[in-house]
Amino acid sequence: MNEIVFKNVCKNYGNVEVIKDLNLTIPSGQRLVLLGPSGCGKSTTLRMIAGLESITSGDLFMGGERVNDLEPGDRNVAMVFQNYALYPHMTVGKNICFGMQISKVPKEEREKRLKEALEILGLEPFRDRLPRELSGGQRQRVALARAIVKRSPYFLLDEPLSNLDAQLRTTARAELVKIHEVYQPTFVYVTHDQVEAMTIGHQIALMNENVIQQMDTPDVIYNRPVNTFVGKFIGSPSMNIVTAWLDGGRIYLGETSAPVPEPWLEKLEGRTEVKFGLRPEHVQLSEKEGDFPCQVIYVENHGSRKCISFQVGKESYYMMTEADFETHDQMWLHINWRRAHFFDAQTQRNVGYPQW
């Protein structure tokens, strides 16, 4: 119905390639999060959907119709901008109604939608205020209300929460999901914040260097990253990824080694150098003898959890733990093999996972 499909879409600014051969299908009514570091092309992708950026080559379909040459206004999208883009000389009510007025929505209907949006977002007391008289969180909600009243089948959000403080962000995230659930538009959300991506997206498309690295559900992206970039980008602190060597059924991290269990041996057959990945939250350390001897460097207290920095050989690793952690002179790293990741040393691609 309202799916968005990119077919071999490229975008260049002069000689600079911003999007390389993008193929992406966003199913109708889903929440897709475009995630990636700054400059990866995620905002450009969103702006191409809105029609604010032209497409150099390839085709973009929305609801089955090719929209390459359609003006932004004819695509029936609602968009929330990072700086909210509220008209400073219009009151909250006028800001929200302006688009409807232009689209000639009848006055009664306009009033009804305005009332509903103000109510949902708790903005009723601010109807006659100017944007400059509102706090950041209130402005953000006005921008959201302006998008809601359009009743558009496509909802585009360009880092809408990045100007809010941490606490507001948490509530605003929940609000966004709630609103999506009420109106069920196809929802495309751009962010560089992985927590937002994980909490909001049905699916995440993780972009880097103008290419989608992986598109999947948050669970799969977290548990089965396709390459070292995805592994490192998702998770905080990021995944420990180190170079390891395999020899005689053992894995070498620096000078010390440990046996590799059977299922992994099959998967890693024929490889000598690999990238070994282990998430900090899956690391186990104890004074009981285990796979690798290690030395704790320092302990950071995050309140609910502790972040422990330690070394195996010369490489540094992180561990997150909820337990009261006590350091001892000699600690051991226990590898939870079911939580381990291996990547090709050259291509950085995931080698896959064994059947347990």
Partner 1 sequence: MKTKTKSKQWLWHLILLILVLLVAYPLLYMLCSSFKSLKEIYNAGLSLLPREFTTENYDKVFSSLPILRFLANSLIIALIVTVFKMATSLLASYALVFMNFKHRDAMFYFFTMTMYVPFTVLMIPNYLTINKLGLMSTLVGVALPQLADAMGIFRMRQAMRTIPKSLVEAARVDRVGHMTALVRIVIPMLRPAIIAQSMIFFINSWNEYFWPMLILRGDNTSYTLTLALQTFMNSESGSAWGTSMALATITTLVPLVLYLFTQRYIISTFMSSGIKE
Residue 87 or 259: the one with the smaller Cβ distance to partner 1 is 87
Which tokens in the block code for residue 177? Answer: 């999901």
Choose among 55, 57, 64: nearest CA to 28.
64
SS3 category, 339? helix
Residues that bind partner 1 (CB under 8 A): 50-52, 54, 71-75, 77-79, 81-83, 85, 87-89, 98-99, 102-103, 146, 150
**Considering beta carbons, is residue 79 or 212 the nearer one to partner 1?**
79
CB nearer partner 1, residue 96 or residue 121 = 96
Q: Which helix (H) or strand (E) holds 273?
A: strand 273-278
Minimum distance from residue 25 beta carbon to partner 1 (Å):
22
Nearest to partner 1 of 123, 244 (CB atom): 123
Q: Which is nearer to partner 1, 152 or 194 (CB)?
A: 152
CB atoms closer than 10 angstroms to residue 93:
20
Complex with partner 1: residue 147 or 230, whichever CB lies closer: 147
Question: Given the complex with partner 1, which of 13 and 124 has the nearer CB atom?
Answer: 13
Residue type, 285: L
Smallest gap from residue 253 Cβ to partner 1 (A):
49
Q: How far is the CB of 72 from partner 1 (least distance, A)?
A: 4
In this structure, the strands spanning 273-278 and 341-344 are antiparallel
CB nearer to partner 1: give 55 or 206: 55
Residue 78 or 285 with smaller CB distance to partner 1: 78
b vs e for 326-348, b when ≥16 Cβ sit within 10 Å of the residue's Cβ?
A: eeeeebbbebeeeebbbbebeee
Nearest to 149 by CA among 86, 187, 93, 198: 93
Measured from the CB of residue 101, what is the shortest distance to partner 1 in angstroms?
9
Which residues make Cβ contacts (< 8 Å) with residue 297, sequence separation at least 6? 309, 310, 311, 316
Q: How many Å separate Cα 14 from the centre of its chain?
A: 29
Question: What region, left, alpha or beta, does residue 295 occupy, with left being phi > 0 and alpha being psi -120 to 50 degrees?
Answer: beta
Cis before 237 (ω within 30): yes
- Closest CB 79 distance from partner 1, rounded Å: 5
Least distance (Å) between residue 20 CB and partner 1: 21
* Residue 51 φ/ψ, nearest 5 degrees: 90, 10
Beta-bridge mates of residue 19: 11
Q: Strand order in 306-312's β-sheet?
A: 284-286, 331-334, 292-301, 306-312, 315-321
Size of the chain in residues? 356
274 vs 272: CA distance, rounded Å: 7
Shortest reach from residue 83's CB to partner 1, in Å? 6
Give just the sign of the alpha carbon dihedral 128, 132, 135, 136: positive
For residue 239, the minimal CB distance to partner 1 (Å) is 35
